[in-house]
Structure 1
Amino acid sequence: MAAPADRIAAAWRMLADLGVTITDLRDDLRARHPMPTVGEYLPVVAAAAGPGARRTYGNYWTRMGVLWGDRRLDEVTATDIEALRHQAAESAVSRRNSRHGRHAGEHVIAAARAFYNRAIADALIDSGASPAHQVAKPRRLPNTRRALTADELAQINEAARAGGNDVVLDALLLRLHTETACRRGGALGLRLADLDVRNGQVHLTEKGGTQRWQPITVDLARHLSALARARGAALPTDKLLRYRGGRPLTSRRYDHLWKRLGEQLPWVAMLGVSTHWLRHTTLTWVERHFGYGIARAYAGHTDSTGPATTTYIKGQTHEVAAALSAMTGQPHPLA
């Protein structure tokens, strides 16, 4: 409830009689409740962030700490963040799917916004005072990924089996991603307990903590089980995908695999083909042959965005299994 105008006027007169200014009050408030510096507050932000956010934004938060560590949160300006965005874009490492540092620039602003969102939530600054939210994010360019043709997919699988230091592992990796359309994180997180050989399915945990049982061919399930046990997986919590020496697989295997495939197939390197292209390929095929609802279930999408109709057209496990069976030409016990 707002104070009456006469009481506000009386308060101003009292401050004037005492010789106190608004600046004096603000300085006193800061002395009683000092604003933390960027360096002091960064550990708080990192501790509250999930593993995905720490992995994506960690390097940029570290850079913010180096540049502005001794500055209070309210002393960083939008110009500072804009300058850091340009620095990150100019120094970005060139990769196969590089877009001249555009993604690095986007990540700088996203990291700064995540940092200041925490400060707003902790009531350290007002929402309108966040410098990160005063910098516009670059418009995202159209995605260049597409579904692979049958011939392109065949070339990739043939090349994977024609070289490398672990042909069996590479072939199974490509087949797993093609059959399930899962992301790299979902495959790397698979444990022995997540494999159901009898019913031909794997339990995937993916982006945002979403979980689902995804049908795979029984043949692939048997090969995955054989590889895991031959390479030391024994306990239910042991990782399913493993190197020859028994160590659990890491994301570096994917980098090594696509680098090798790019050397064997120049068009793979030229287009920047990656594991996510397999997801595009499978989901495109399922959508074309079985419709949007089944493709949505196949992808593991659970978000509520889009038309309200999506609430009523959820694909069921047996329908996903039927799509897999049609795609692979192998019968499935759940279809």
Structure 2
Amino acid sequence: MTAGPDAPAGQAELEAARLLLARLGVSPSDLLQLGPARPPAPTFAEYVPVVSAAVTDGSRRAYGSYWKRVLEHWPDRRLDEVKPSDIERLVEHVKAHVVVRSNARGGRSAAENLVTALRCLYRRAVADGHLTEAENPASKVAKPQRLPSTRRALPDTRLTEINRVAASTGDDPVLDSLLLRLHTETACRRGGALALRPADLDEEQCLIMLREKGDTVRWQPVSPTLMRHLRQHAEDRHAPSSGQLLRYRDGQPITRRRYDHLWERIGRHLPWVAKQEITTHWCGTQR
């Protein structure tokens, strides 16, 4: 009986196959490379701008400074040349050179953000076919464990001090007081406040629509007083129904820099605010 086509090859057949491959100049490993050869992976200098242009504005703000660090260290290295140990060394470098602040926690946050930024970049590289998921070095590096937040509830007396300074200093106390009131009542993020439009105000039910991180959307109850001031602000500063509600006196939309200036000014008048590095996120946390 002769062997069928699926029967395993004998020793003689294997030797004959090896001899034929040798004469053709082909190695067995060459036969394992199915399909066309993959082109070289791009360098970080070539690929970071591609990813930066593809992500959302929020992701670009969150990861941009860390991608810049990567470009400083590996501009000409190709994506598939970096090993997990390389990333771990860069993480330790970032932790060691983080800007020391009063609430610093050993660079843990910077290390976590760097790993997250690299994971974002490599996910795109896998999706674009520059390497496989098995070759993704960022997925093999653990993020530092996040410590509990040092943020705490602000006592009413402290919040009153903050509002007093905001309402009595600066070039636009009305705007700054409205910002603090909005964040205190709703605990919304800065992005949610900046995305608020006059069309998002439901005066009848005292609700505002907030669009925040991760494309989340929620209807948030507010007090009649806040609703009245939001509507008045939109009318006084000529905010279009589908445009940004919060604006300067000249009608220009405010940016995140307004928050930075506000807290810098409050910190100058209230040293405990600067020392604890209190920001807008604290306003929605009260006792």
- TM bucket by the smaller chain? 0.7 to 0.9
- Where do 5+ consecutive residues of structure 2 fail to align? 1-5
State the distance in 1 between where 2:242 and 2:98 align.
37
Q: 1:182 to 1:132 in 2, by over 3 A?
A: same
TM-score by length of 2: 0.83
1:267 aligns with 2:269: no
State the distance in 1 between where 2:116 and 2:63 align.
8
State the distance in 1 between where 2:9 and 2:164 align.
84
For 2:241, the equivalent position in structure 1 comes to 236
For 2:98, the equivalent position in structure 1 comes to 92
1:258 aligns with 2:263: yes
Contact kept in structure 2, 1:242 and 1:249, CA below 8 Å: yes
SS class of match (1:155) = helix
Q: 1:269 to 1:6 in 2, by over 3 A?
A: farther
State the distance in 1 between where 2:102 and 2:83 align.
34
For 2:3, the equivalent position in structure 1 comes to none
Contact kept in structure 2, 1:198 and 1:218, CA below 8 Å: no
Give the superposed CA RMSD. Answer: 3.0
State the distance in 2 between where 1:96 and 1:245 align.
37
SS class of match (2:168) = coil
Q: Aligned match of 1:157 in 154, 157, 163?
A: 163
Partner deviation per Cα, 1:99-157 (whole Å, 9 max, x = no partner):
34332222111111111122223343232322222322222122101111222222222
SS class of match (1:239) = coil
Q: What amino acid sits opposite 2:187 in the alignment?
A: A
Q: 1:167 to 1:125 in 2, by over 3 A?
A: same
Q: CA deviation at 1:172?
A: 1.0
State the distance in 2 between where 1:226 and 1:253 align.
20
Q: CA deviation at 1:24?
A: 5.9
Q: 1:240 to 1:259 in 2, by over 3 A?
A: same
Map 1:129-208 → 2, pairs under 5 A? 129-208=135-214
Give the length in aligned residue pairs.
277
Partner deviation per Cα, 1:14-52 (whole Å, 9 max, x = no partner):
6556444467678x8898321221233334433442222
- Where do 5+ consecutive residues of structure 1 fail to align? 286-335
For 2:221, the equivalent position in structure 1 comes to 215
State the distance in 2 between where 1:71 and 1:4 align.
47
Larger Rg: 1 or 2?
A: 2
State the distance in 2 between where 1:82 and 1:159 align.
45
Map 1:100-119 → 2, pairs under 5 A? 100-119=106-125
RCO higher in structure (CA 8 A, sep ≥6):
2
State the distance in 1 between where 2:82 and 2:63 align.
18
Mean Cα displacement is larger for which, 121-130 or 133-142?
A: 121-130
Contact kept in structure 2, 1:199 and 1:218, CA below 8 Å: no
Contact kept in structure 1, 2:184 and 2:285, CA below 8 Å: no
Contact kept in structure 2, 1:119 and 1:125, CA below 8 Å: yes
TM-score by length of 1: 0.72
Q: 1:150 to 1:108 in 2, by over 3 A?
A: same
SS class of match (1:223) = helix
